[in-house]
């Protein structure tokens, strides 16, 4: 056998994603390149590692065993690299963070300088919905999580980063002339919802429930970007985080409809399990956040501070 570390890595990503296409995206390779590496690796074994039934890829039992071994080998190689950097006096290791999907407009700004200063640190950033973020945190699979709705079922510590404000958004072509509308306007419009498990959906549903509104769920989409595109296309309105629509508000393609009780306010929080034993990398990152967060906020999020935020600032709990 003469397989390479690169082939092990490609094979592992294919088994984790159960898809050549998804593995190619994650690896920043073309789909044919991944297929070739997978075939070259698989040809070295007497038994099949994967099989395709219909259009779906399955990992065989033998393939699962090889994937476990591949992960162990790659982890050992990674450990060698980290030890080499540590011997040179550089901070090295892996920083694992899970964030809710809207957090992609926030988290990169709180990571870029840290990663630039510490090139020996590898970042694993999982962008998903609130339910899966909290599951990964509770299972101790990540160092930190970024959420806008704090859990009440997990004991955590936190650092508050910046405000999260949600407004009613519609596309710019619709006409709304009143200075402020009653919340009942939501019963008259097509409201676009995020998927189950989303923190934004939870906040919106609590607002609708607290105001005793009857708003049918006719449109439900996965991800903030999908909701934003639907609103831009005129499919309806949605209650959306301000952080994700800055450009659309600036270029005039979206507008905020003033509604009594809005914006809904919470805060973006970096959270971690209470009592967690941090790695040196995680400890260094927490120190970085605590020392640098105000500088980052002033540099990248001053536009939020400058807005008229309305009244009320009760932090939502799940």
Is it true that the peptide bond before 263 is cis, omega within 30 degrees of 0? yes
Which CATH superfamily is 93-162+266-305 part of? Periplasmic binding protein-like II (3.40.190.10)
pLDDT at 316 over 70: no
What integer is the mean pLDDT of 103-110? 94
Q: What is the pLDDT of residues 255-296, one digit of tens each?
A: 999 999 999 988 999 999 999 988 889 999 999 999 999 999
Q: Which of 48, 39, 45, 2 is nearest to 20 (CA)?
A: 39
Polymer length of the chain: 318
Res 85: pLDDT: 63
Mean pLDDT rounded to a whole number for the chain: 87
pLDDT at 119 over 50: yes
pLDDT at 168 over 80: yes
What integer is the mean pLDDT of 104-112? 95
Compute the 3-state secondary structure of the chain and give helix, strand, coil in percent, each to the nearest 5: 45, 25, 30
Backbone angles phi, psi at 163, to 5 degrees: -65, 150
Cα(76)–Cα(213) distance, integer angstroms: 56
Three-state DSSP class for 211? Answer: coil
Assigned architecture for domain 5-87: Orthogonal Bundle (1.10)
Cα(206)–Cα(47) distance, integer angstroms: 53
pLDDT at 314 over 50: no
* Predicted structure pTM score: 0.69
Q: Which of 51, 52, 13, 54 is nearest to 34 (CA)?
A: 13
pLDDT at 176 over 80: yes
What integer is the mean pLDDT of 30-39? 91
Res 88: pLDDT: 65
* CATH fold match for the domains 93-162+266-305 and 164-265: yes
Q: What is the pLDDT of residues 66-102, one digit of tens each?
A: 999 988 888 787 777 767 666 566 788 889 999 998 8
What integer is the mean pLDDT of 224-245? 91
Structural fold of domain 164-265: D-Maltodextrin-Binding Protein; domain 2 (3.40.190)
Structural domain spans, the chain: 5-87, 93-162+266-305, 164-265
């Amino acid at each position: 056998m003469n397989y390479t570390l690169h082939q092990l890595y490609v094979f592992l990503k294919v088994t984790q994603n159960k898809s050549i296409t998804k593995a190619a995206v994650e690896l920043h390779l073309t789909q044919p390149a991944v297929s070739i590496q997978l075939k070259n690796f698989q040809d070295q074994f007497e038994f099949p590692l994967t099989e395709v039934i219909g259009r779906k890829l399955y990992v065989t039992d033998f393939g699962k065993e090889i994937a476990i071994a591949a992960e162990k080998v790659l982890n050992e190689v990674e450990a060698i690299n980290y030890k080499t950097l540590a011997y040179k006096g550089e901070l090295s290791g892996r920083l694992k963070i899970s964030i809710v999907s809207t957090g992609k407009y926030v988290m990169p700004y709180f990571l870029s300088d840290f990663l630039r200063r510490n090139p020996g640190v590898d970042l694993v950033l999982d962008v998903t919905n609130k339910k899966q973020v909290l599951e990964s945190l509770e299972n101790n699979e990540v160092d930190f999580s970024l959420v806008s709705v704090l859990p009440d079922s997990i004991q955590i510590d936190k650092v508050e980063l910046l405000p999260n404000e949600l407004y009613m958004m519609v596309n710019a072509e619709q006409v709304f002339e009143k200075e402020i509308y009653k919340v009942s306007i939501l019963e008259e419009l097509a409201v676009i919802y995020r998927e189950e498990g989303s923190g934004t959906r939870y906040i919106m549903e609590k607002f609708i429930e607290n105001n005793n509104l009857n708003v049918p769920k006719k449109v439900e989409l996965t991800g903030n970007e999908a909701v934003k595109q639907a609103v831009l296309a005129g499919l309806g309105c949605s209650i959306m985080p301000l952080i994700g629509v800055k450009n659309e508000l600036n270029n005039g393609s979206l507008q905020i409809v003033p509604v009594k009780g809005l914006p809904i306010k919470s805060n973006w929080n970096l959270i971690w399990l209470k009592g967690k034993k941090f790695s040196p990398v995680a400890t260094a990152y927490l120190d970085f956040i605590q020392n640098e967060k105000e500088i980052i906020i002033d540099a990248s999020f001053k536009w939020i501070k400058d807005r008229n935020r309305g009244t009320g600032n009760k932090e939502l709990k799940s």
